A = this chain, B = another copy of it.
Amino acid sequence: MTRPSERANDQLRSIEIIRNYTKHAEGSVLVKFGDTHVICTASIEEKVPGFLKGKNQGWVTAEYGMLPRSTGSRMDREAARGKQTGRTQEIQRLIGRSLRAVIDMQKLGERTIHFDCDVIQADGGTRTASITGAYVAMVDAVSTLLAKGLLTESPIKDSVGAISVGVYQGIPVLDLDYIEDSDCDTDMNVVMTGSGGFVEIQGTAEGEPFSRDAMNEMLDLAAKGIAELSKLQQQALAN
C-alpha cells in the first residue's frame, strides 16, 4: 500500500508551530499539520467560574470552531445556526481535558486560561493539531504571568501533544489526512504527555471492529509520533 500522500506509514505530515501569530492573546500559535491549520490562543482571565470560587485553584477551558469555508464544501456557521454541533462540543471538551491534565490547578491560582482553537484550513486531524498547538500557547501565556510576577513558579507539570492513528486499507498508519480519514477502518486519537503517559485514547471502528493487535500497533505509532511532536514543541519554545 502507498499512502495518498506518499508518506511512510509511521511518518508525520510536515509540522509547523508559529508563535505570537496574533498580537492580543497572552499565547497565540498558528499550528500546521500539513494542510490543517489552526489558530490556538490562550487568554488569561483573572477569575474562575462560579463553581470554583474561593477554592484556591485555577481553571482551564477550551472552545473550538471551524471557519465555514475551512473545509472542501462550506459548512453552516455555528453562530448563525445558533448552536454548536455535538462534534464541536466533543472536541472542545477533549482539548480542555488534555490541557488540564498537565497543569497544577492549585499552583495556577484563582485564574482561568481560556483556549480558543479555530481551524482556518482543514485536512484531517484538527483536534490533534489543536491540542499540540494549544500546549505551546499555554506555555507562552504562563510566561506572561511569570514575567509580571503574578506567578513565581510555573504550574505546568509536563508537555502534552496529540496525534491520530488509524487502520487505512488494512495497514496501521500515523497522522491521517482527510483522504485517509474519510476511508479508514479505524480512527484513533491519542493524547500523551511529553514523558510518555496516556492522557486520552479515543478509538472508533468506522467499519469492522478492530483487534487487540491492531490497537497495539496503533499505540506504538502514536507514541512515536507524539515523541516527535514533543521535540517540535520544545524547539518552537526555544526560539
Where the two chains meet, the residues of A that have a C-beta atom closer than 8 Å to any C-beta of B are 22-25, 28, 35, 37, 39, 41, 43, 45, 63, 65, 67-72, 74, 77-80, 82-84, 86-90, 92-93, 97, 101, 114, 116, 118, 120-122, 158, 188, 192-193, 195, 197-205, 208-212, 215, 219
Residues of B within 8 A of A86 (CB): 86, 89-90, 92-93
Residues of B within 8 A of A63 (CB): 68, 77, 80
Main DSSP-derived SS at the A contact region: mixed
Residues of B within 8 A of A192 (CB): 209
The 8 Å CB contact of A79, one of B88, B101, B201, is B88
Report the copy number of this chain in the oligomer. Answer: 6
Q: How far is the CA of A215 from the CA of B122 in the complex (A)?
A: 31
- A-B contacts, 27 of them at CB < 8 A, read A23-B121, A24-B71, A25-B69, A28-B69, A39-B67, A63-B68, A65-B77, A67-B118, A69-B114, A69-B116, A86-B86, A89-B89, A89-B90, A118-B120, A120-B120, A158-B209, A192-B209, A197-B210, A197-B211, A198-B203, A198-B209, A198-B212, A198-B215, A200-B202, A200-B205, A202-B202, A202-B203
Residues of B within 8 A of A198 (CB): 203, 205, 209-212, 215
Residues of B within 8 A of A203 (CB): 198, 200-202
Beyond the given pairs A43-B69, A74-B116, A197-B210, 15 more chain A to chain B contacts, judged by CB atoms under 8 angstroms and listed by A's residue number, are: A22-B70, A24-B69, A41-B68, A63-B68, A63-B80, A77-B79, A78-B79, A80-B84, A82-B82, A192-B209, A197-B208, A197-B209, A198-B203, A199-B204, A200-B204
